[in-house]
Structure 1
């Protein structure tokens, strides 16, 4: 099932659903014919769209709003904070092309601080599906919740079949004693590649899909921190995202861990097609595996040989 099919199904079944967009119809081109006057395009006016959505929510509607992640999280931030977060209205924010999915776009269109921005809003919940299968399993619960929600939309298809979703719970793919990788969104598929490469080098490696970032699964983080090396992998700035979440959880529970973060450190990524972006920024599976193994060799298990991954 696709995003559009899911929203169509839920919109037909429940007249409270309103589909709204700030002239961003890439995911919902067929909905105007299905929903009629319950489809609203406000034009390139993200702030107006959020204000109108809040009014509809006050009348018992469930507005699902669509815009580019960079503009939704930043241009409309004050409106989301004031009109959705503070009154805890059930606005459902569908953020298109977040993180590296914005590949060929420059800094103005790169949403790589959105997790930090959105999780700081009172009552806001924040989610980042690993792929399309994960997303369509997550959204029914997210949209059924009475709280406002920000979701990084991810329509990429992978071969992985995800477990059912539960609000506030991570998906533990596997456990490892040498390395545990925590990730979310687009980079899940690259983490899977790195996982296999590291296992081939003799390491015990685990992977956790941190699909729910607020509320976050603290127990999953604490258990992962028992490994020799905890890796955070995200297409987001280092500050405010998963690395920061992990630090907050460990400090809260007075626990320490050896943590290796993969993130964008106060710089925007170089625009290009997605494979080239991931290669250049060090976010493809091979580069992730090489960096992890190199760190293991230098800091944790010196007897491990330097990685010799094939091109």
Structure 2
């Protein structure tokens, strides 16, 4: 089932659902004809769309809103925070082309600080599905939850079949004593490749799909950092405020430290290109990830913080 098919099915079965867009219909091209006046296009007005969605939510509706990730999280930030987050209204943000998925676009259209921004909003929940299968398994619970939500929409098809979703729970793919990779969204595909390479080198490798970033699965993070010699955070996001920061917060909360090797963007946007070229140029292919992990000494005795592996 596709994103559009799922949204159509849910909206047709529940009249509370309103589908909205700020003149970005890529994910919902066929929905207007089926929903009639329950489909609203506000034009290129992300702030107006969020304000209207909040008004609808106050009247018992569940608006699912669509816009480019960069504009949904930054241009409309104050409206998301004030109109949806603070009053805790069920406004559901569907973020189009987040992270590296905005591959051909320059800095103004790259959302690589979105996780940081959205998880800092009171009551906001934050999710990043690994692929389309993960997406459609996650969304029914997210959309039926009373809190506002931000979802990094990922409609890429892969062969991986994900386990059922539980709000606030990570998906444990494998456990490893040498290395555990924590990742979310698009880079799950590359993590799978890296795991295979590392296993072929004789390492015991774990992989966790951190699909729910707020609420986050603290137990999964603690288990990984306690039971693996090295924990790797992998994300198409700035280092600040993303998964690396989340892991640090969880460890500090529990009075712990760990060997953590982060893969993230270091306060720079990525070079626009076709997606495979973007990932290779920035050092995020499965092969490059595995090579950097193999180059890091995992046979240590005292916990330490690893030197971050940034894209240059």
The interval holding the TM-score normalised by the smaller chain is over 0.9
Deviant stretches of 4+, over 4 Å: none
Structure 2: tracts of 5 or more residues without a match: 302-312
Per the alignment, residue 154 of structure 1 pairs with 154
Shift of 1:228: 0.3
3-state SS in 2 of match to 1:266:
coil
Shift of 1:229: 0.2
Alpha-carbon distance between aligned partners in 2 of 1:30 and 1:280, rounded to the nearest angstrom: 36
Alpha-carbon distance between aligned partners in 2 of 1:146 and 1:93, rounded to the nearest angstrom: 13
Per the alignment, residue 33 of structure 1 pairs with 33
Per the alignment, residue 272 of structure 1 pairs with 273
Alpha-carbon distance between aligned partners in 2 of 1:296 and 1:49, rounded to the nearest angstrom: 50
Give the CA RMSD over aligned residues: 0.9
- C-alpha distance 224-284 of structure 1, shift in aligned 2 (>3 A): same
Structure 1: tracts of 5 or more residues without a match: 302-311
Per the alignment, residue 224 of structure 1 pairs with 224
Per the alignment, residue 305 of structure 1 pairs with none
Per the alignment, residue 176 of structure 2 pairs with 176
3-state SS in 2 of match to 1:225:
helix
3-state SS in 2 of match to 1:295:
coil
Alpha-carbon distance between aligned partners in 2 of 1:224 and 1:268, rounded to the nearest angstrom: 29
Once the two structures are superposed, what CA deviation does each residue of 1:127-174 show, in whole Å capped at 9, x if it has no partner? Answer: 000000000000000000000000000000111000000000000000
Once the two structures are superposed, what CA deviation does each residue of 1:253-288 show, in whole Å capped at 9, x if it has no partner? Answer: 011110000000100000000000000000010000
Per the alignment, residue 259 of structure 2 pairs with 258
Per the alignment, residue 6 of structure 1 pairs with 6
Alpha-carbon distance between aligned partners in 2 of 1:23 and 1:283, rounded to the nearest angstrom: 32
Report the TM-score when normalising by structure 2.
0.95
Per the alignment, residue 164 of structure 2 pairs with 164
